[in-house]
Amino acid sequence: MRLFDTLSRTDRELLPHDGTTFRFYCCGPTVYGPAHIGNFRTFVLQDVFRRTLETGGTRTLHVRNITDVDDKTIRDSQKAGVSLTEFTAGWTAKFHADCAKLGCLPPHIEPSAVAHIPQQIAMVEALVAKGHAYAAPDGSVYFKIASFPEYGRLSHLDTRELDLGKTQNTRANADEYEKDSISDFVLWKARRPEDGANFWKSPWGEGRPGWHLECSAMIKEYLGGDFDLHSGGVDLIFPHHENEIAQSRCSCGGHFAAHWFHITHLLVDGGKMSKSLGNLHTLDDLRERGFSPMEVRYVLIGGHYRKPLNFTLDSLSAAREALSKMARSARQLASRIGAETTFETVDFGPFQNAWDSLCNDLNTPGALGGIFTGLRDAADLTGSDAAKALAGLNRVLRALGLTLPEPDEAADADVPTDIRALAEERWQFRLAKNWAKSDELRATLAAAGWQMKDGKDGYELSRG
């Protein structure tokens, strides 16, 4: 499998560093509310990425954290008047439930930031000892970015933007900040009244970790100094991932991630999602409007991860149609297998192009297009050929994490088996261009009260 790498800006083959297991880290959700469909674009694409590796026979180790202590979780737990633990436990459970509905595999390891405070303190101590960090008079500790000349390489900050000399004595204490305010960033935040009960003892006094530090400490714990890939949405390239690189490279050696996989943002109605615009969709909102999580997943994988994807309610309706069309054609393919039960799966058959698209920079829209072309190409296959094709289709669907809808549309409902068999027989005559037989069976079906509407890659039956 080949994938674009943000750091080298090239397509690169993905190979497990240790020769056996592909080990990767994804920045997880900040659990202070329900995840929105923009967050899920990133999590779903990471899931397709993992499933593609596994479908291709590569073992994976997927680590994704839970950000359960930061500026936002503390602020909102206080607003809600509950403890940070109680507050974040509820949103973590909600996140897990939404992921399951979307068909996302749970990570193999899911560490929480609060459960790794000693590891974070140890990392700050190592950075201070090596001269990469210093304590400010209030007891906060900052990373000295002038001490790491490689700072800015991932986000390709040019020298004009990045004058490390100018960062002396400028400090950012907030978790999030913009590129034009590059400065030493906070590793450990001294206790403030607004933190309430959320503070821990450290060599620099009471306080709490900065957000960037959390991922570096959990990565060190579960993946060590060298691992295969790191991923998140594009908004994390700067400063979050830049800061992770600085902290990890300077504290534990190693090269850190060998590959960087960033997912471009989801837009809604052509613009940014925001609560104030009322366009911040969650799975629950969309469910209320009658759309299923699988339809949401279809929309999210309908665009290439390196391009912005514009989400509209119309795109969900189109996804519904596409999924039911795919399901109908797949059922027709299955119905042509007949009594055949033994066959060998050697490749993806008519779905080879769909699979190749996934292996070529995770081209999910290409894979969806390839499925429809494959179904069309498989329209005249029967017996073991149909069985092999169906096995190929199911492998691609598994890699995409798509579950096709059950037949509940009017077109498919309650079709008796003898009528279905007649329709299938006629379809085969039609494919063989035996127009006389095809017309004869169409008339037989009509006499039994069924209309057959022909499409490019299948047919629909309706009463009347």
Which runs of E-coded beta strand occur in 296-440?
A: 309-311
Find the binding residues for Zn ion in span 160-199 (CB under 5 A): none
Residue with smaller CB distance to ligand AMP, 160 or 307: 307
Which residue from 14, 74, 263, 327 is in contact with ligand AMP, where contact means CB under 6 A?
A: 263
Which residue from 1, 27, 127, 273 is in contact with Zn ion, where contact means CB under 5 A?
A: 27
Which residue from 74, 104, 236, 245 is in contact with ligand AMP, where contact means CB under 6 A?
A: 236
* CA pair distance 310, 271, nearest whole angstrom: 8
- The answer to whether residue 215 forms part of the interface with Zn ion (CB under 5 A) is yes
- The answer to whether residue 38 forms part of the interface with ligand AMP (CB under 6 A) is yes
Q: Which amino acid is at 24?
A: F
Q: Is residue 21 a contact partner of residue 61, using CB atoms and an 8 Å limit? A: yes
Residue with smaller CB distance to ligand AMP, 187 or 236: 236
Which residue from 235, 285, 340, 409 is in contact with ligand AMP, where contact means CB under 6 A?
A: 235
152 touches, from Zn ion, ligand AMP, none (C-beta below 5 to 8 Å by class):
none
Taking alpha carbons only, the member of 177, 171, 176 closest to residue 190 is 171
Taking alpha carbons only, the member of 273, 258, 357, 363 closest to residue 311 is 273
Residue with smaller CB distance to ligand AMP, 121 or 263: 263
Candidates 208-216, 263-271, 277-285, 383-391; binding stretch for Zn ion (CB under 5 A): 208-216
> Taking the alpha carbons of 82, 83, 84, 90 in that order, is the dihedral positive or negative?
negative
376 touches, from Zn ion, ligand AMP, none (C-beta below 5 to 8 Å by class):
none
Residue with smaller CB distance to Zn ion, 226 or 340: 226
Which residue from 123, 266, 283, 296 is in contact with ligand AMP, where contact means CB under 6 A?
A: 266
Candidates 23-31, 125-133, 199-207, 271-279; binding stretch for Zn ion (CB under 5 A): 23-31
Compose the 43-82 pattern: x for residues touching ligand AMP by CB under 6 A, - for all others. Answer: ------------------------x---------------
3 touches, from Zn ion, ligand AMP, none (C-beta below 5 to 8 Å by class):
none
Phi and psi at 174, nearest 5°, equal: -80, 155
> Facing residues of 185 across strands?
143, 172
Pairing of strands 207-209, 229-233: unpaired
Q: Is residue 221 a contact partner of residue 111, using CB atoms and an 8 Å limit? A: yes
Find the residue with minimal CB distance to ligand AMP: 233
Label residues 359-377 b or e (16+ Cβ within 10 Å = b).
bebbbbebbbebbbebbeb
- DSSP line for 283-328: HHHHHHTT--HHHHHHHHTSS-TTS-EEE-HHHHHHHHHHHHHHHH
Residue with smaller CB distance to Zn ion, 27 or 402: 27
- The answer to whether residue 124 forms part of the interface with Zn ion (CB under 5 A) is no
Number of residues that bind ligand AMP (CB under 6 A): 16
- Tell me how far CA of residue 377 lies from CA of 88, 329, 366, 390, 456, in angstroms: 50, 11, 16, 12, 10
Candidates 162-170, 231-239, 281-289, 414-422; binding stretch for ligand AMP (CB under 6 A): 231-239
- The answer to whether residue 104 forms part of the interface with ligand AMP (CB under 6 A) is no
> Facing residues of 61 across strands?
23
Which residue from 3, 23, 39, 438 is in contact with ligand AMP, where contact means CB under 6 A?
A: 39
Residue with smaller CB distance to Zn ion, 215 or 257: 215
Residue with smaller CB distance to Zn ion, 27 or 283: 27
Residue with smaller CB distance to Zn ion, 27 or 154: 27
* CA pair distance 310, 313, nearest whole angstrom: 10
* CA pair distance 88, 76, nearest whole angstrom: 10
Shortest reach from residue 189's CB to ligand AMP, in Å: 18
- The answer to whether residue 96 forms part of the interface with ligand AMP (CB under 6 A) is no
- DSSP line for 190-248: EP-GGGTT--B--TTSSEEE-HHHHHHHHHHHHH-SEESEEEEEGGGIIIIIHHHHHHH
Q: Is residue 416 a contact partner of residue 450, using CB atoms and an 8 Å limit? A: no
- The answer to whether residue 395 forms part of the interface with ligand AMP (CB under 6 A) is no
Candidates 26-34, 79-87, 107-115, 262-270; binding stretch for Zn ion (CB under 5 A): 26-34
Find the binding residues for ligand AMP in span 307-346 (CB under 6 A): none
215 touches, from ligand AMP, Zn ion, none (C-beta below 5 to 8 Å by class):
Zn ion
Pairing of strands 2-5, 10-13: antiparallel
Candidates 74-82, 170-178, 184-192, 262-270; binding stretch for ligand AMP (CB under 6 A): 262-270
* CA pair distance 24, 8, nearest whole angstrom: 18
3-state secondary structure of 74: helix
Where do contacts with Zn ion occur on this chain (CB under 5 A)? 27, 215
Where do contacts with ligand AMP occur on this chain (CB under 6 A)? 27, 29-30, 38-39, 41-42, 67, 232-233, 235-236, 263, 265-266, 273
